[in-house]
Structure 1
């Protein structure tokens, strides 16, 4: 066991007026399993890069361990997976690699395949296995479960539970609850470390916010009452002082006026103390204002039907034929392993020319709003984005503000946004669009936990018709009214 010591860390990106970290001091045990949480753009990945020594900063970071970062940059993915892993963990024996892969339910034969031919899930698992074989290293794991299906996420979470000595950035509540023993929370005003999983942290955080809210309301009333009382005492003191002119006993009257003035000053001091106490409250409040949606009502009950549909890649079917219908008010989640064709089924619904068997029927005049999986190509500022997509700019920006965008973001190029902020841009566009059916493909990748819960509340309240792919189990449990299983043709 050793410690990672961070003292008076201050950092901002060159040319930026926004300070990412200011006078941060932390002490982390290298045996901990830390879950790192916080709003998009709050500096989680930046903290990893600072620990890796990639940026210049003020303050000190002291550690006796070497840091490894996930995802590991594979420079020549055409090499055999075994060669790639030997580069990552050169002292590990092959039997050790195979043991770790068995924990993640990865077949040993992947070692003798080109790394580039592995699925995203397989790449994630083999890189994690290799990094954990570097004994004595401390892992900085940056959102490993994005794009992984529900079962793969559960496997990764169970694997991480067996390990220790890492910080995991994740917005998946089930994954965090399954593997971490401490939470590193990048809050609005500070950074805190707390023992426990995400569920216990959230309970404590909400309890603290409720307590501070009650304190805030009490202090507001106290401040108002003290202010009025101080003003009354000051007025009385002035009146008594003025009466000295005609008073027979000027000493007595003066003493009475001084006493009233002293009382007024004491009340003012108590008022200032209450104001100071109030200013210390609710600094970390995470507001998630309710979002609004204006779905269109279709004249018929049936919106979409799939009949015996199977997606084909290179002439080969990738999934068993699937049949289902989407009716008004239904929120249908497509569930299946990575590579089973879920995204392709969504694109078929949108009318894209993808090879398939069976029949997809979209009701006449149906208006669809689509959130694609990939947000990497977005560019330009938000005003330009709104014009290009023919959405109302003021409404678009108001939604983003409710999703924790600062006004300073509005003039930046979207290319400078974090992955989560880019995905919020696509979600906000969809919320601006009036549609009969909302088709969302992995909408929550990189999105912070608070915004996920905000989306859950929105969809439960407005109950739009939806077809979506999403692997966040908590979100699916809250939102979906129907699950459609997409089975790979080979059953794997």
Structure 2
């Protein structure tokens, strides 16, 4: 066991006026299985880069271990997998590698195949096995679940549960809950570490949020009472001061010394109340510091004149002579939220493309309602360019609603002015989701919409979908999201 010490860490990018981290300090035990969570853009990947020594910063990071980043960058993906592993870990023993492969259910024959012919899941498992063979290394595992299907996620999570000594960035709640024993969270105003898994951290956060909201409500009332009292006291002292130059009701001269003394006491009391009021306001500014919330939104979906929107009967899809999926049958009716589930390569995206109107070779019966309006969220975000305002206008959507949804998903107003090409992967996916929710359509079709999106935003997207109950067909490997959203699961 050893410690990684972070002391008074402050960092900002050269072209930024704002610090990403400011005077943060904490310790990490190198035996921990540490889950790393926080909103998109809060600095998770930046912190990993700082540990790797990629940027200059003020403060200090000390550690008696070396850091390794996952996924390891493979320069020549056409190389045989065995050569890729030798590049990562030159001095490993073959039996040790086979032990790791056994835990990850990887067969030995993948060693002799070109790395780029392996599936995403196989590549993830091979790289993890190779990196965990290194001695005296602390692994920085950055979003390993992207593009892994449910079965592969469970397998990798079970594997990580047998290990120790890593930071894991993941937005999959079930994945984190299964394999971590501490949570490092980047909040709105601080960085903190708690013992336990994600669900335990989230429950503690909800309790803290509830406490802060209750304290905030009490403080609002107290500030109003103090403000009213200060105004009354200020008014009293002012009225008393005015009598210094007048006369008493009896007609005798006023005692200016007495009146002045009384006014001074009144004024002193008023100033004291003002200080109490300011102190209370200062205290209020420290409350609600980490609450992730925003206003509710009014979103509506077009009603279709018929109950049934789409029907597939005994549908099989082919790419050339290759059979992709066989004998698929289901219907989509208004109000349904349908999850397409299955291993990678089972035909989920092909079914989506068929419903969206692409020219795909199929057999069987496929019916789609006439003039059915569909909003599609693809996995690809590379086309996003320009400002949000330009994007909203070019797509004919309500700019105010579009930006309100993004605000709910933690977009700062500064982001509204930036070019979308500079956004993170998670921020780009939020743009596509906000656009889809803003469109006047009958059916939403989302293909792996949550890749790169932070866990709190995932929960807020759940809330939006449950609140206004659109008709939606989606592919998503986040087990919790599917469980919470889907009214029907179609297993391929």
TM-score by shorter chain over 0.5: yes
The aligned counterpart of 2:82 is 82
SS of the aligned residue for 1:40 comes to coil
CA 1:220 to 1:387, structure 2 compared with 1: closer, same or farther past 3 Å?
closer
8 Å CA contact 1:3, 1:29 repeated in 2? yes
| 1:300 aligned to which of 306, 310, 320 | 306
Structure 1 292/80 Cα, relative in aligned 2: closer, same or farther at 3 Å?
A: farther
Which range moved further: 11-20 or 102-111? 11-20
Provide, for residues 302-333 of structure 1, a one-character-per-residue CA deviation record: whole Å limited to 9, x for no partner. 11111222233451213332111111111111
> How many residues get paired?
486
- The answer on whether the counterparts of 1:319 and 1:340 sit within 8 Å (CA) in structure 2 is yes
In structure 1, the residue matched to 2:284 is: 278
CA distances 1:122-144 after superposition (whole Å, capped 9, x unpaired): 11111111111112101111110
Give a deviation string over 1:234-274, Cα, whole Å, max 9, x none. Answer: 33334445556656777665655444444333322322221
Q: 2:395 aligns to what? A: 389
Partner residue, 1:38: 38
Tell me whether 1:349 sits opposite 2:321 in the alignment: no
Whether 1:464 and 2:473 are equivalent positions in the alignment is no
Q: Residue 324 of structure 2 aligns with which residue?
A: 318
Distance 1:238 1:290, change over 3 A: closer
Bigger Cα displacement from structure 2, 210-219 vs 384-393: 384-393
Q: CA deviation at 1:58?
A: 2.2
SS of match in other structure, 1:318: strand
CA distance in 1, matches of 2:452, 2:207: 26
Change (3 A) 1:146 1:290: farther
Contact 2:294–2:407 (Cα < 8 Å) also in 1: no
* Cα pair 1:80 1:112 within 8 Å, conserved: yes
2:455 equivalent in structure 1: 449
User: In the alignment, does 2:331 pair up with 1:331?
Assistant: no
Give the direction of change, closer, same or farther, for the CA distance of 1:314–1:90 in structure 2 (3 Å limit).
farther
**Which has the higher mean CA deviation after the structures are superposed, 313-322 or 425-434?**
313-322
Counterpart contact for 1:288–1:454, Cα < 8 Å: no
Instruction: Report deviation, 1:205.
Output: 0.9
Q: Residue 175 of structure 1 corresponds to which residue in structure 2?
A: 175
CA drift at 1:387: 3.4
2:196 corresponds in structure 1 to: 196
How far off its partner does 1:299 sit?
A: 0.9
Q: In structure 2, the residue corresponding to 1:321 is in which secondary structure? A: strand
- Separation in 2, partners of 1:458, 1:322: 30
- TM normalised by structure 1 equals 0.94
Q: Offset at 1:33?
A: 1.1
Residue by residue over 1:327-365, the C-alpha shift from the partner in whole angstroms, topping out at 9 and shown as x without a partner, is 111111111001111111100111212333323221211
| 1:80-116 residue CA offsets vs partner (Å, 9 max, x unmatched) | 1121112112222111111112112222221221111
Matched residue, 1:425:
431
Corresponding residue for residue 490 of structure 1? none
1:369 maps to 2:375: yes
Q: Which moved more, 1:319-328 or 1:334-343?
A: 319-328
CA displacement 1:429-470 (0-9 Å, x = unmatched):
111211111110011111112221111112112222111101
1:137 corresponds in structure 2 to 137
Structure 1 pair 235/383, CA: closer, same or farther in 2 (3 Å)? closer
Kept in 1: contact 2:36–2:169 (CA 8 A)? yes
- The secondary structure found in structure 2 opposite 1:320 is strand
Change (3 A) 1:288 1:113: farther
Q: In the alignment, is the contact (CA less than 8 A) between 2:229 and 2:273 conserved in 1? A: yes
- 1:48-197 to 2 correspondence within 5 Å? 48-197=48-197
List alignment gaps of at least 5 residues for structure 1.
487-492
- Return the alpha-carbon distance in structure 2 between the equivalents of residues 230 and 465 of structure 1: 55
Once residues 88 and 466 of structure 1 are traced to their aligned partners in structure 2, the CA distance between those partners, rounded to angstroms, is: 43
How far 1:388 moved relative to its partner? 3.2
Alignment partners' CA distance in 1, 2:217 and 2:307: 48
**CA displacement, residues 60-79 of structure 1 (integer Å, 9 cap, x when unaligned):** 22212111111111111111
Equivalent pair of 1:181/1:195 in contact (CA under 8 Å): yes
What CA distance in whole angstroms lies between the structure 1 residues aligned with 2:31 and 2:232?
61
Structure 1 stretch 261-270 or stretch 114-123: which is displaced more? 261-270
8 Å CA contact retained: 2:37, 2:184: yes
Matches of 2:201 and 2:280, distance apart in 1? 29
Q: Which moved more, 1:284-293 or 1:125-134?
A: 284-293
**43-52 or 266-275, larger mean C-alpha shift:** 266-275
- 8 Å Cα contact 1:209/1:282 also seen in 2: yes
The 8 Å contact of residues 374 and 441 in structure 2, kept in 1 or not, is answered as: yes
Matched, 1:359 2:365: yes
Offset of residue 382 of structure 1:
2.0
**Residues of 1 paired with 2:119 and 2:428: CA distance?**
24
Quote how far apart the aligned CAs of 1:381 are. 2.4
SS in 2 for 1:37: strand
After superposition, the Cα gap between the structure-2 partners of 1:264 and 1:121, relative to the gap in structure 1 and judged at 3 Å, is same
Question: What is the distance in 1 between the residues matched to 2:144 and 2:131?
Answer: 13
